[in-house]
Every structure is written in C-alpha cells, then in structure tokens.
Structure 1
C-alpha cells in the first residue's frame, strides 16, 4: 500500500512573525484546547511551549467523558495528541473526535494533530489511514525530509524526529506536504490553519522513559528500534527537535486572528 500523495498547490506562506506587544496585549490570552487520550497523558513539550507564550491550557479527555466544545470561540486553538488507539477504531469517542475536527477547520482556528491526532485530521479530510503494507512501524528516531513548502513555512527542521506509531496516512486532497519520510512518506502536512505531524516533538525525557517501559507498540515490531537507541538518539537529535518545536508552536498559534487571541472585554 502506497501513501505517496502530493499536492501541486503553492499556497504555503511563512509563519507570521511575532508582533510587538501593545497595551491591549496585556489582557489574558484565550486558552488552547488540549485533547488527550489516556488518564496519565500530558501535553508534554507542546504544553510547555504554549504556557511559555502565555496561553492557558484547557485539558480534556473525551475518552473519559469530557465534552468537546461546540465552537472554538472561547479558545485560541486546539491540539489533539496521540494515543494507543487507531483513527479507524469504532469507539464512539474516536468517531466523535474525528467529526469534531470539522469545527476548527470551519472556524479557521489553529489546529494541530500529533500522531493519532494527525491521523484523525487526515481522516476528517477524506484521506486513508492504514498500517504499513509490510507491517513496519516507526518507534524511535527516524529521518525526515522537509519539502520546499516545509522550508518556506518554517526553517531549521530537525534531520531526525521521534516516532511512536504503526499506522500512517495519505496526504489529504488540498493539503500541502511539509515533510516526508521513508516507510511512512507523509510526515507533516498543512491544510489551511490545520497541521498534522506524524512524529512526536512533544515527548519529554520522562515520557520517553514511560513509553519505552510500558509502551503499547511492541519494541520488537518490524522497524522498531531497541530501547537503548531511543536514548542514544535523543542525545544526538533532541536539541534540534526541541528548538524547532518552540519556533513551530510560536508560528502556529500566531495564525489565530488578533481579535480572537484576547479575551473579549466585558
């Protein structure tokens, strides 16, 4: 099964630069909606980057009964993170999350899907999500190659990024491919204000310890790296991935319209 699918669009613009702060910027920023899938999950480095920019986090776990908002009028943006489940699962909460992504797409709010979240975004946009045709997985550090569109959007992509997945997805129609890989060609894409990342720049050192100890994907699956290589790879590649994530998140959240960024004055 091939997941190679390319868009001919040339509509990617660089992330907006940071604005000079004015008097109105002293008002509280609207929170970013954070969707997690396990009781012990955290938003990791993505949450840290958003908090550093001044954004509160509204953390919800629909799998355990938390509702998702009917509109993002009270939020600056939304992030759906990864999990051991599949975007193809028949569970009600999985289908509800995929359907819910229509809201940030329609309202043109910044949306970010990471791993499972990216697969959910791809599925909402009509793309196929499936395992590798040879049963291979990406568990550990693997190379990615930013496209010209990826370089135009955000410079200084890391050469290797952290992965933990056994499924991939096609490039949705109308989306721009931002980075590609080998076993799973679509690694990052953009569709308007929505972005999908197949890899995990959110993973902290503590998260890596948990995942490699209690991970849902077998470490001996075809293509998976043994545990010690995860930490060796982190020593080599983590500085670049962490710096890229900080710049990416700052540019991604800056796409929210200025009038939406601030809490409405009473």
Structure 2
C-alpha cells in the first residue's frame, strides 16, 4: 500500500507509524501542505491516509486546510482507510459536518486514556498517551466513541472499519517527544491543566505499549483496504 502522511509542523512526525509501514512492506510518502504551497496527494494515489497534528485549527480559513477536507471526503466516499491524530482527527470530524470546539481543559503532557469499545480487537483498556491540544472534536453520530480521558471526554472515535481519529498521540517515539518539547515546550508551560512542564514531559519514558497500540490500530485499518 501507499501510505500518504500529511505532516503539519516539523515537530510532529509520524513516529512509529513509519515503523508499522516498514514492517508490513508498505511505502510512506510524507507531505507538508502547510509549507509547500498546499501540495496534497490525490485520492487515487492514496491507499491509506494519515493526518498528523499541528498548531493550526480546522476552523482556520486557509485554502489548504479546506483542500485537505476535500481529500478526506473523497477517501470516505471510496471507503479508504484514514487515521487522524489531534488536528487530524478534528479534520475528519469537521469533514463529516461536526464541530471543532475549545476543549473544557487544555491537556499537554502524559495522561491516561480509557478505551470505551472493543470494536478494534486487541486494544488495551488503558494507555498513557501524549496530549498536546486545547481544542476537541464532536464525536460523529455515525461513529463510536473509542477513548476518553479524565479531563476531556471526546478522545477518540472509530467510524466503520476504515476510520480512526484520536485527540491524543500514540505515534511519538522518544526522538519525536524530544523534538516536540525542544521546539514547542513553552506550550506546556502556559495554563496547562495537566500541570506538567516541558522538562517533566521530556523525562517521562514513552510507554512501550503505545507502539503496540499503533500497530493494532493500523492492522485494523489495513484490513478494510
């Protein structure tokens, strides 16, 4: 499969998603539409779309953000697999006609998330995920709530057998966490309801079962192809 990744800031890369793709024999292409004049893949050259996080909002009035949603809409119509993390999950929800709102709490740092359905076999009941957001999506009515956290209820959804959106991050490896913190760590220090500063986030080890969870989710999505 051709895995097309939309990356929206240099500090938030695909992490263990690339490991999964390599282990399963797939090719990864990474696009940077925020930087390279809105360049995006076409639906026809996309077997699985990954939409990563970023500092922007789906509510921003930018052409490339709207064009991303057109791509998502085309892939949904073709029943192709889509995964969204943070901003990416919000983009999927907005494409489906749901709102992206300010979350009741700003979450930046490590905190548990709790599985709400066993629709994706093999996911653990609880994971310690990296949170880096202050907005959240409305869970689409046609989807199932997949995860919640202690501070923000809407943490993940699964739509059919081909779409998963997560408000948090399971994909970062240690190098990705370091990159996020050294470049954007000040975001953690400003009115953060998880009360973790940049140094605390940096010192926490990346849970080993986060990578396993990414593999479980992507194996599930790949079966729909």
RMSD, matched Cα = 1.9
Bigger Rg, structure 1 or 2: 1
Contact 2:58–2:94 (8 Å) recurs in 1: yes
Contact 1:125–1:173 (CA<8 Å) still a contact in 2?
no
Number of the residue aligned with 1:76: 47
Distance 1:41 1:198, change over 3 A: closer
1:138 aligns to what? 107
Q: Is the 8 A contact 2:12 2:52 kept in 1?
A: no
Instruction: Report the secondary structure of 1:153's partner residue.
Output: coil
TM-score by length of 1: 0.76
CA gap 1:168/1:67 in 2 versus in 1, 3 angstroms: same
SS of equivalent to 2:8? coil
Match of 1:50, SS? helix
Which of 204, 218, 224 is residue 249 of structure 1 equivalent to?
218
Q: Please report the TM-score for the alignment, with normalisation by the length of structure 2.
A: 0.89
1:125, 1:112 → 2: CA distance? 14
Q: Deviations over 1:231-255 (max 9, x none)?
A: 45425xx112122222222222222
Q: What is the aligned counterpart of 1:175 among 124, 131, 143?
A: 143
Other structure's SS at 2:25 match:
coil
Question: Hey, what does 1:88 align to over in structure 2?
Answer: 59
Unaligned runs of at least 5 residues, structure 1 = 1-29, 257-266
| 1:195 and 2:167 are equivalent in the alignment | no
User: Measured at CA, do residues 130 and 107 of structure 1 come closer, stay the same or move farther in structure 2, by a change above 3 Å?
Assistant: same
Q: Aligned-pair distance for 1:223?
A: 0.8
Determine if contact 2:100/2:136 at 8 Å carries over to the other structure.
Answer: yes
Contact kept in structure 1, 2:107 and 2:131, CA below 8 Å:
yes
How far the C-alpha of 1:125 sits from its partner, in A, is: 1.0
Which whole-Å CA distance do the structure 2 matches of 1:249 and 1:145 have between them?
Answer: 19
Higher RCO (CA < 8 A, seq sep 6+): 1
Preserved CA contact (<8 Å) 2:4 2:49: yes
The whole-number CA distance in structure 2 between the counterparts of 1:254 and 1:93 is 29
Higher relative strand content: 2
The number of equivalent residue pairs is: 220
**Pair 93,114 (structure 1): closer, same or farther in 2 beyond 3 Å:** same
Deviates more, 1:62-71 or 1:102-111: 62-71
